[in-house]
Amino acid sequence: MEELIKALTEGESRIVALVPEIDGLEGAGVTTVAAAACADPRVVKRFPNGVAWLSVGADRPEMLTDQMVDRALEVNGESDSDTDWLEAVATGRLMDGGEWPGPPGDGLLVLDGVRDPHLPLGALVIADHVSVLVTARSARVLPDDIPVIALPVPRWPLLERLSGELGVRPAQEPDLNDPRSRAAAVREVLSAGLAGLKLPGSVARLTELGVFADEANIPAGLVRLLWKRTAELEPLDCELTLTGLSALGVLSRAPDREVVMIPDVIRGHLRAELAAAGSGEVHRALMEAVVEAPTRRSPRRTPGISFSICPTMRHRPVTRCPTSSATGRGSPAS
């Protein structure tokens, strides 16, 4: 973490990336380390305008470009109502000497869990005006000119968390450099651990999340509608179920957006379990939930997005960081 803090406070580049030392390893703890670094007094002092956080995960870049601009404006200056900053970034005008509203602020934008190379390209534009920290599971999605810090991974935090919470260890420790070996270890822990929980309702609700496609995070509101149809859960019961599943490390709630994030290796297990049990009824319930879901649109914000204040970095209103999650632990998707 010291290397990251030094890069943020003393480095010459206004954009830096943090990735696991093992390329492509999800749940390696980069989100946890990034959040801890952002809360460090030296980083807080370096960025008096605050730290804005955007959870990226599985969502596509076109869904998040406006959110990235909004977050940058939070720690850079107030938006000029006569200027379309989203259009300015999209067309590259800010790369050609264009000015943001107000002077470039001493703020930091964190893009957490980047998977697509197009978003870091946009971050290069943003970095001319605010500092940017990108976390990703692989440096392959990053432009070549972004400085990269590799996080050592002596043990796999995702597997350690699952094993600790479920009380099950894999019979053989996985080869962390082998995706198939990692997936097999997670399946073994989940199969034995969830069966031993004696919470069939929660396990069934978790398995139902395997119905969602991999290419996007899961809207929390849609989860509530699905569970209302499959188990007649009221909103409070849904929140309690999500909180309990988050405590187990099988999913996490984004700290800045109303979405549920599940590591791909866990999603694969849920999808297989749902298929084995028969997914027809859950698919029908999901389609009914989608039809029932309200369609709200905004020119700047994605439906279901919420904003709040990071308690550890409150110099001005900024998007909440993941240092005060429900479980007090890092995101399993980090």
Torsion sign (Cα): 190, 56, 308, 292 = negative
pLDDT, residue 69, reads 85
- pLDDT over 70 (residue 322): no
Record the pTM.
0.81
Q: Most confidently modeled of 94-98, 189-193, 198-202, 211-215?
A: 189-193
Q: Most confidently modeled of 88-92, 198-202, 204-208?
A: 204-208
Predicted confidence (pLDDT) per residue in 37-89, tens digit:
999 999 999 999 999 999 999 888 888 888 888 888 888 755 444 445 555 55
Q: Which phi-psi region, left, alpha or beta, contains residue 198 (left: φ > 0; alpha: ψ -120 to 50)?
A: left
Predicted confidence (pLDDT) per residue in 136-187, tens digit:
999 999 988 889 999 999 999 999 999 999 999 999 999 999 999 999 999 9
CB count in 10 Å sphere of residue 243 = 12
Helix (H, G, I), strand (E, B) or coil at 101: coil
CA dihedral defined by 55, 212, 293, 290, rounded to 10 degrees?
150
Sheet with 15-20, side-by-side order of all strands? 50-55, 107-114, 131-136, 15-20, 148-151
182 DSSP assignment: H
pLDDT, residue 312, reads 33
Mean pLDDT across the chain, nearest whole number?
Answer: 82
Task: Tell me the mean pLDDT in the region 265-273.
Answer: 95
Q: What angle do CA 313, 135, 267 make, to 5 degrees?
A: 110
pLDDT, residue 256, reads 92
If one compares 207 and 118, the residue with the highest pLDDT of the two is 207
pLDDT, residue 92, reads 52
pLDDT, residue 91, reads 54
pLDDT, residue 311, reads 30
pLDDT, residue 73, reads 84
pLDDT, residue 247, reads 95
Mean pLDDT is lowest, of 117-121, 264-268, 293-297, 306-310, for 306-310
In which band, very low, low, confident or very high, does the pLDDT at 211 lie, cut at 50, 70 and 90? very high
